[in-house]
A = this chain, B = another copy of it.
Amino acid sequence: MVAPTNIFANIPAALADEQFTALWSTTTLRVERIISHGQASPPGFWCDQEHAEWVLVLQGAAVLAFEGDVDPVRLKRGDFLYIPPHARHRVEWTDPDQVTVWLAIHHGASLDQHQALTDVAPT
């Protein structure tokens, strides 16, 4: 018997840090749910990943900044974005008044060795 899981289930009411939940993981792929509630990257922090990432905002709102770009990228429900390897970026803002639910797809040959770094760095 196959049973689905709902991606909007089990969302914590309050979060000190962003929450990362792996939904599917192989040596070259990690699909994860990210829950944000007002969190942003630490001041001066840029996320620099060897692998590519694709993010989709399922609920809520966020702002991503890319190094060298004047204008940050505003994301609302349904917006998705491809982040190439080594495109240095940071989460400038997530909506403090509602939970933001992201689907992130990490994909690349170097995924294994960078999983720990990726999971820890953005919180």
Size class of the contact patch on chain A: 35 or more
- A99 interface hit (Cβ, 8 Å): no
**A54 lies within 8 A of chain B by Cβ:** yes
- Counted per complex, copies of this chain come to 2
CA distance A8 to B2 in the complex (A): 28
Q: Is A28 an interface residue (CB 8 A)?
A: yes
B contact residues around A93 at 8 Å (CB) = none
Chain A: residues with CB nearer than 8 A to chain B? 1-9, 23-24, 26, 28-29, 31, 54, 56, 58, 64, 66, 69, 71, 73-82, 87, 103, 105, 107
List B contacts of A77 (CB < 8 A).
Answer: 8
Kindly list chain B residues whose C-beta atoms are within 8 Å of the C-beta of A82: 24
Report whether over half of chain A's contact residues are helix, strand or loop; otherwise say mixed.
strand
Residue of B nearest to A64 (CB): B2
Contact among B2, B54, B69 for A81, CB-based, below 8 A: B2
- Whether B81 contacts A4 by the Cβ 8 Å rule is yes
A28 surroundings in chain B (CB, below 8 A): 28-29
Residues on B with beta carbons closer than 8 Å to the beta carbon of A7: 56, 78-80
